[in-house]
Amino acid sequence: MMSLSDTEISLLQDAEGNHCSSFPTVLLQVMWRAAKLVRPEQLPVGSNPDPGSLREQVSLLLCEAELFDAHAWATTLQPLSPASDLSPRMHVASAHRIAVCIYLSRLLLSLDPDTRLSNNLETLVSEAICHMANIRPCDALFTATTWPAFIAGAETDNLQNRAWIAQRFAELWEVEPWGTVRGALDVLRDIWLDRDGAMAYGQNQRRESLHDSNWIARLRQRGVDWLII
C-alpha cells in the first residue's frame, strides 16, 4: 500500500499551526491508511485481501488513534501557532481523535458486524461534543470542529446530541457560509431519517447491525464521502 511522501507529510505538518481545520497530521495519516485499506479501487489489480487481515490492520490503526496524546501534540505545536491557544487546540485535537476512533470503529463493524469494540460509540459521541462545546463561535478554531461534528452526528442516535450537532452546523454556517457546511447537515438529516425509519419498521433489530454500521459505505454510494476523508 502506498504511503504519504515526506513532502506531503511536511506540508501537512506546516499547516497544523495555522490551517482552519487544525487536523493533527498523525491522525490524518491514520485516516488515509484506513481509507486505502477498504477502498477496492485503491488496491492492486487482481488482489483479494483476506478479510481477517483487513480487520487486524484496521484494529491496529484504531489502537494507534486511541493512543494519540492531544496534550503532547498541542504543547509541541504551541511555539508554531500564531496565537496562545494551547487549551483550544487540546480540545480540537481531542475531538478529532475521538472522531477518528468512531470512524475506524465503524470500518471494523462494516467488515465484521460482530466485532466487540472497546468503547461505546454513543459515549464517544458525548465525549466529542464535550470537547467541541469548549470552542465557541467567536474562537479562531471554531471551524476546526466541522469534521468531528459531522462524524459525531453520523454516529449518534441520541436526540439531544443530534440537536446539538444541528445547532453547531447552524453556527458554523453563520461563521463560514460554505455550501459544504449546509450540505453536511442535509446529509446528516438524511442519515437520521433513514435510520429512524428502519428502526421504526423493525428492519434494524440491533444497534450494531450492518445497516447501522455501514453509514460510511452508504455515504460513498451517495457520492458524499468527501465529507469523511
CA separation for the pair 204, 192 (Å, rounded): 13
CA quadruple 61, 27, 100, 65: dihedral positive or negative? positive
Q: Is 56 exposed, middle or buried (0-12, 13-18, 19+ CB in 10 A)?
A: exposed
Q: Is the pLDDT of residue 201 over 90?
A: no
Task: Return the pLDDT at 1.
Answer: 40
Kindly report, residue by residue over 124-143, the tens digit of the pLDDT: 999 999 999 999 999 989 99
pTM of the model: 0.86
| Short-list 37, 35, 30, CA closest to 52 | 37
| Cα 78 to Cα 60: distance, rounded to the nearest angstrom | 29
